[in-house]
Structure 1
């Protein structure tokens, strides 16, 4: 796990070592163990290393036999040993045992098809001096981040946006269209970011920089293929086998491992499976507000599974003290309050291990969100013609808000494409009209949120409604929220997070499970629950998903109220946000007239991000936590699972 930066001078002028060094330095947290650079002609590659595999020999940038190809890479490739043996049989010579060197030789052998053969999480860049091109790719589901931008002189690619901001000529400007979509989704959907002119390399895409241009190409796509011919038991047994194999693959490292543990099925399953291979250290976090902590359940699960368990309790004051730095680590606003608790549990884990396994992705792959049960509850509407649905909607919208069932009728009268935007829908278009300033509403290139989701739904035609919802979440919520916060908050603590559920082989099998086995028996991800029951305490099997709950609803009425009001007044976003309306929501929330917590938090996170990156009111130096420094000093005990 590392951080990478790459710079290509479009004018064919010599690349500047000073620039690539500055781009690398600002992501020190991603790789405190080592750095490395390669400058050749008009390109420069930079690298920050967190040593995981081939600790002794895996220094990057790495090169091929003739030193006419160089690579920097971030992530882990779990099938690199098999690929390495195949490549050796074809005459390739390796000078390290690094998984990243395997990618380079694979590129030599199969060219731009190399990413198709990789199983893991990755973002990499290769300088091919034979063809004079910069080639790279991001993993299938977007576990590892990769961004790019271009100026009049250069094209830059990096693991974090803050590296690109070090490039001469890169402006710090708000992407107004991105801001509009952020108000809907609580993050900016691919390929945009909150910065004008800075973009994500989408998951499952490769890129080539050649002739002063960057061209992106999709190398893989998500496809569901439910198999109605197989019995329920087939999917239970197959899921168990696929997950055990994936967890075993995700153990590959030369450093100590552990796992995050909340109180739900996903993380508990990972710990239960990992426990069959080795002793496990587990880590949990909770708040100090009653009803907002899962620590008791996590503690009982850890005791049942026999792990060496650690936990931490976070107060409102601790949360607030760290918030500005953590928004800096995020690069762009993601208004998920649990991201901050994820930072604290990662901080705890970083005192003991370098790698953690976690349960992200189970809900998207196996049908775990409660909203996925909605098509079943609305099935009475499914056979209605469009004209009848429209009539019901027209009548329902005229009913008073106090009428029970009004929302049910409105949602039932809509198709899944019309009603489902993914797991977050913060502001409706009607409420946005109150939140944004008048001049912003006239933005020429504004597109509605429906245009974002319709582009995804277009490729999901033929699937049932639940599968369409999974497909949308994999392409939006998973990559934009879940994986973004997972990467940024763990790497802020120089900790590598691995996600065995989010694996191409696991998805290949999960994609064959019919919906009737995913949403069944009064619950979600039914197959997964049955497959994991032998690894879990009986009480966990049916527990609803809670993750790491955060009491922002309570804090905004109490400890955070004064801070929130000051931030609203001080932030220089009057050209974007109607502050009077935000203050109205804050006071209504405090008085208990409505729960505006998610909406207010979305605005506050944006304002704080704006102060840090646009106004540059706060500045942060590259930083490695004392816990990580202590871990590095005490890392004499090396364990290898091969």
Structure 2
């Protein structure tokens, strides 16, 4: 687990010198505090004698082969070099095969298998890797640079190709110190951020700077720069399988996924929230060790947001060595640090508890397993049930036109995390819309009408014609022909999971030098879950059925039936109390940076509506505060 940087330039005047590549590498030192290396070849020429200089940088967090496996790494003749962030879980199988074909290995690490596999089959190698990764390979023989990102998007990779120079890094902050790259904010990205609370790939907050999409690779060579997809699974296809066979197959796949992710030469533990997913992963991890597994949970003083009692129950059942951290979140105190690490506006407020959990867990272990992905793969979110119910109701009668609906929608919101009024209002707002827009209604932070009232005329004029919904529509189309719950969950796997959850976990954990591994997101599990008939996962408004059928004997039964609790914070309460002075000193101040995009009176109305208790705009205000803080950091 590490951080990578680098550049290839096609003109001498676009060279990235030794000092700049070291600076690019140093700014992400938190991703790899154990080692740092750079390598440059500014004099390389392609077959026609044209400039093709290259520089690679690497920060290492040592997990496997602690003394060896240093990067940038080279093949036997030094013609192929690589920097790599992540873990390849099937590397031992690949290594045996490659040794059998004559390759000599200089290290015991997982990365060298990528290098030799690429030598044999080129860019086809990425489809044979089971892991989380961002990879850059310099191929002097073919005169090309190859970038690749794992299928699910667990590891980030940013790049900019401009004026004959490609620059890339694990984090945007490396690119921001290269002159001429992070210069102009993309108005479309601001619109997307307010819609989704993140900026979808392949865009970033900066014009001309991109995220390599999950499951894709990119090549820069004499023919130019191109991006291609290598993960071509088709979620529109449902496979016939008996329920009994599905149970057995899930047991095999998830158990093997956990086993592969237990390989580590440093202390390893598991996040344990007390929910279904983290409890199952912890139970399966316990099968792979003779010692009690170390588990970690985080608690808060507000009972509506604390589920550590369930975590303690599971820990006792599994006999883990459990640590419960209790914190009083100081979101004001960590806001600047949080925004700096995420590089671009990122509005998921659960980044706050994820930050604290990562920071405290890192004091005990260097690797932690997590249950991320279970809700998306096995239909665990409340919004899937709401979408399913809305579809049934719409077929019977137009509920959104019933008398009294408008009155219900005007009821004051509640601050409680699971408020029936709050959930009911969101449900009613979605009725009557096309299904993809109905689903967006459950995801979006600022509805289209609210964004329109918020934006200044000048900002509206800067926006492109493309609707932010186009991103969701594109992933929704991948599962054409499937039922509505499968379409929603598949869309989340391709959008919300990589753009929000994986970003949140990667940045919060790597800021503290902690590696987080997510067994649910083994691509074999992902493909299998997508192929299942929906009734195996979701039925009668209940989700995660197959997980219960396969693993009911592993964790206490009440864990499967207790109400779902998100990994959240009392954000609504904070904006009426703790955050109130900060909001007035920044977002409502005369020098408010967001006034570049938003009408002052509209922002003030939003704040007043929340502070007076008329509406709960906590999550919207958090997104605006994150954007304001980010803009101030740029000035």
The question of a shared fold, defined as TM-score above 0.5 by the shorter chain, is answered with yes
| Aligned residues of 1:553 and 1:597 also touching (Cα < 8 A) | yes
Q: Who is 1:621 aligned against? A: none
Q: Who is 1:138 aligned against? A: 149
For 1:407 and 1:193, locate their aligned partners in 2 and report how far apart those are by CA, in whole Å.
29
Quick one: which of 310, 328, 334 aligns to 1:322? 334
Q: Who is 1:580 aligned against? A: 601
For 1:544 and 1:394, locate their aligned partners in 2 and report how far apart those are by CA, in whole Å.
27
* Structure 1 residue 107, shift from structure 2 partner: 0.6
Quick one: which of 326, 341, 344 aligns to 2:356? 344
Once structures 1 and 2 are overlaid, which stretch shifts more, 93-102 or 204-213? 204-213
Where in structure 2 are there 5+ consecutive unaligned residues? 43-52, 411-423
**2:629 is aligned with 1:608:** yes
Quick one: which of 334, 337, 357 aligns to 2:369? 357
| Aligned residues of 1:186 and 1:424 also touching (Cα < 8 A) | no
Q: Secondary structure at the match of 1:53?
A: coil
For 2:282 and 2:263, locate their aligned partners in 1 and report how far apart those are by CA, in whole Å.
16
| Aligned residues of 1:208 and 1:216 also touching (Cα < 8 A) | yes
* Structure 1 residue 579, shift from structure 2 partner: 2.9
For 1:20 and 1:401, locate their aligned partners in 2 and report how far apart those are by CA, in whole Å.
60
* Structure 1 residue 554, shift from structure 2 partner: 1.1
Q: Secondary structure at the match of 2:304?
A: coil
* Structure 1 residue 408, shift from structure 2 partner: 6.0
What are the superposed Cα offsets for residues 427-448 of structure 1, whole Å, 9 maximum, x if unpaired? 1111001222221112252421
| Aligned residues of 2:220 and 2:226 also touching (Cα < 8 A) | yes
| Aligned residues of 1:397 and 1:406 also touching (Cα < 8 A) | no
For 1:43 and 1:310, locate their aligned partners in 2 and report how far apart those are by CA, in whole Å.
46
Quick one: which of 535, 538, 562 aligns to 1:543? 562
Q: Who is 1:464 aligned against? A: 483
Q: Who is 1:112 aligned against? A: 123
Higher relative contact order (CA 8 A, sep 6+): 1
For 1:430 and 1:382, locate their aligned partners in 2 and report how far apart those are by CA, in whole Å.
23
* Structure 1 residue 85, shift from structure 2 partner: 1.0
**2:592 is aligned with 1:571:** yes
For 1:216 and 1:370, locate their aligned partners in 2 and report how far apart those are by CA, in whole Å.
36
**2:366 is aligned with 1:366:** no
| Aligned residues of 2:16 and 2:55 also touching (Cα < 8 A) | yes
Quick one: which of 256, 259, 263 aligns to 1:248? 259
Quick one: which of 260, 265, 279 aligns to 2:271? 260
| Aligned residues of 1:147 and 1:158 also touching (Cα < 8 A) | yes
Q: Secondary structure at the match of 1:501?
A: helix
CA gap of 1:217–1:586, structure 2 versus 1, over 3 A, is same
Q: Secondary structure at the match of 1:291?
A: helix
Quick one: which of 172, 177, 180 aligns to 2:188? 177
Q: Who is 1:451 aligned against? A: 470
Q: Who is 2:103 aligned against? A: 92
For 1:80 and 1:511, locate their aligned partners in 2 and report how far apart those are by CA, in whole Å.
25
| Aligned residues of 1:258 and 1:282 also touching (Cα < 8 A) | yes
**2:60 is aligned with 1:54:** no
**2:92 is aligned with 1:81:** yes
Q: Who is 2:5 aligned against? A: 5
* Structure 1 residue 98, shift from structure 2 partner: 1.7
What are the superposed Cα offsets for residues 606-634 of structure 1, whole Å, 9 maximum, x if unpaired? 1111112x22xxxxxxxxxxxxxxxxxxx
What are the superposed Cα offsets for residues 293-333 of structure 1, whole Å, 9 maximum, x if unpaired? 122222222222211112222224x3321121111111112
**2:32 is aligned with 1:19:** no
**2:309 is aligned with 1:296:** yes
Q: Secondary structure at the match of 1:378?
A: helix
**2:574 is aligned with 1:555:** yes
| Aligned residues of 1:358 and 1:499 also touching (Cα < 8 A) | yes
For 1:49 and 1:146, locate their aligned partners in 2 and report how far apart those are by CA, in whole Å.
16
Once structures 1 and 2 are overlaid, which stretch shifts more, 602-611 or 545-554? 545-554
Where in structure 1 are there 5+ consecutive unaligned residues? 616-642
* Structure 1 residue 416, shift from structure 2 partner: 1.9
Q: Secondary structure at the match of 1:67?
A: coil
* Structure 1 residue 51, shift from structure 2 partner: 0.3
Once structures 1 and 2 are overlaid, which stretch shifts more, 347-356 or 525-534? 525-534
* Structure 1 residue 571, shift from structure 2 partner: 3.3
For 1:159 and 1:406, locate their aligned partners in 2 and report how far apart those are by CA, in whole Å.
40
CA gap of 1:558–1:411, structure 2 versus 1, over 3 A, is closer
| Aligned residues of 2:134 and 2:157 also touching (Cα < 8 A) | yes
Once structures 1 and 2 are overlaid, which stretch shifts more, 238-247 or 528-537? 528-537
CA gap of 1:68–1:493, structure 2 versus 1, over 3 A, is same
**2:178 is aligned with 1:167:** yes
* Structure 1 residue 376, shift from structure 2 partner: 3.3
For 2:400 and 2:408, locate their aligned partners in 1 and report how far apart those are by CA, in whole Å.
17
Q: Who is 2:510 aligned against? A: 491
For 2:303 and 2:475, locate their aligned partners in 1 and report how far apart those are by CA, in whole Å.
40
**2:525 is aligned with 1:514:** no
**2:319 is aligned with 1:310:** no
For 1:375 and 1:453, locate their aligned partners in 2 and report how far apart those are by CA, in whole Å.
15
Q: Who is 1:210 aligned against? A: 221
For 1:146 and 1:233, locate their aligned partners in 2 and report how far apart those are by CA, in whole Å.
40
What are the superposed Cα offsets for residues 179-210 of structure 1, whole Å, 9 maximum, x if unpaired? 00111101011111112221100000001112
| Aligned residues of 2:346 and 2:626 also touching (Cα < 8 A) | yes
For 1:407 and 1:82, locate their aligned partners in 2 and report how far apart those are by CA, in whole Å.
49
* Structure 1 residue 35, shift from structure 2 partner: 0.7
Q: Trace 1:500-511 onto structure 2 (pairs within 5 A).
A: 500-511=519-530
Once structures 1 and 2 are overlaid, which stretch shifts more, 4-13 or 406-415? 406-415
What are the superposed Cα offsets for residues 360-399 of structure 1, whole Å, 9 maximum, x if unpaired? 1111111111111234323445768xxxx9xx49956996
For 2:233 and 2:162, locate their aligned partners in 1 and report how far apart those are by CA, in whole Å.
33
| Aligned residues of 2:594 and 2:627 also touching (Cα < 8 A) | no
Q: Who is 2:613 aligned against? A: 592
Once structures 1 and 2 are overlaid, which stretch shifts more, 414-423 or 5-14? 414-423
Q: Secondary structure at the match of 1:309?
A: strand
Once structures 1 and 2 are overlaid, which stretch shifts more, 322-331 or 407-416? 407-416
For 2:246 and 2:228, locate their aligned partners in 1 and report how far apart those are by CA, in whole Å.
33
For 1:396 and 1:451, locate their aligned partners in 2 and report how far apart those are by CA, in whole Å.
31
What are the superposed Cα offsets for residues 467-507 of structure 1, whole Å, 9 maximum, x if unpaired? 11112111211011100000000000000010000011112
For 2:221 and 2:386, locate their aligned partners in 1 and report how far apart those are by CA, in whole Å.
47
For 2:615 and 2:16, locate their aligned partners in 1 and report how far apart those are by CA, in whole Å.
56
Once structures 1 and 2 are overlaid, which stretch shifts more, 368-377 or 79-88? 368-377
